Amino acid sequence: MLANVLPERAPTLFLVDKDTPGVRVLRTPRYMHTFVYEHPEFAFEDVALPADAVLGELGQGYELTRDWFVEERLMIAARAIGAAERALRAAVEWAGERQQSGRLLEHQLIQGMVADSVVDIATNRALVHQVAWEADQGLERKMLHAKAAVVKLAASEAGGRVVDRALQMFGGRGYMRENPCERLYRDLRVDRIWEGTSEIQRLIVGNEVAKRGLDGVLSFGTGAAVAAAAA
């Protein structure tokens, strides 16, 4: 839980067990995606917490949240590209067997959709690997925050494009609940919204360029090399 601690209204993170007195679930909304975990809405009424429930330090809530977003956005990007590949493989297998004035996969408009999808997957997978590697190398966290925004924006948008094409290649069959593309179509849509919308990612990248220039965001290398380029 993120709360403002008085009197300074310092944003602070707390670990709160849902069985703590005063905590209750208001409702558990239903979403279009089918993830196994839920996102209930909680109410807190006179909830008493011990000092060791504070996560980090008082006033460090936004900083910790921003730091956590780096790994979360990389994870979303990896998941989006993995789902895109799953959808494309299913669609290509189907198009390779489907007979409609010859094999569907031999039609140029279908081949164009496949080619665009391959490019979306290959380029974004390489970008995810690059920034994940830079994170392991100790890239300066503010720069990594900007690069994670680049990855999340690019991969979530690309994943949506690929799954949309894959569903289209299946035709009406792609719209059936028994088809994997139908579920992926629903599941991936949220990746352009949570952990920062695509619009927020654009603001993060644009602000980083305005503050420190293009070198850091566009460079590739170890943490020390990238930090030096951005200095």
Count CB-CB contacts under 10 A for residue 201: 23
- Measured distance CA(175)–CA(181) in Å, rounded: 8
* 204, 212 Cβ separation under 8 angstroms: no
- Measured distance CA(81)–CA(2) in Å, rounded: 31
Alpha-helix runs per DSSP H in 27-140:
61-97, 108-136
Q: Which residues contact 211 (CB under 8 A, 6 or more apart)?
A: none
Task: Please report, as a single letter, which amino acid is at residue 80.
Answer: A
- Measured distance CA(109)–CA(1) in Å, rounded: 50
Task: Please report, as a single letter, which amino acid is at residue 98.
Answer: R
Give CA separation, 16 vs 2, 50, 107, in Å: 10, 10, 57
Catalytic residue among 85, 134, 182, 195: 195
Residue 195 a catalytic site member: yes
* 20, 49 Cβ separation under 8 angstroms: yes
- Measured distance CA(120)–CA(113) in Å, rounded: 11
* 183, 191 Cβ separation under 8 angstroms: no
How many Å separate Cα 47 from the centre of its chain? 32
User: Which residues are catalytic, by number?
Assistant: 195
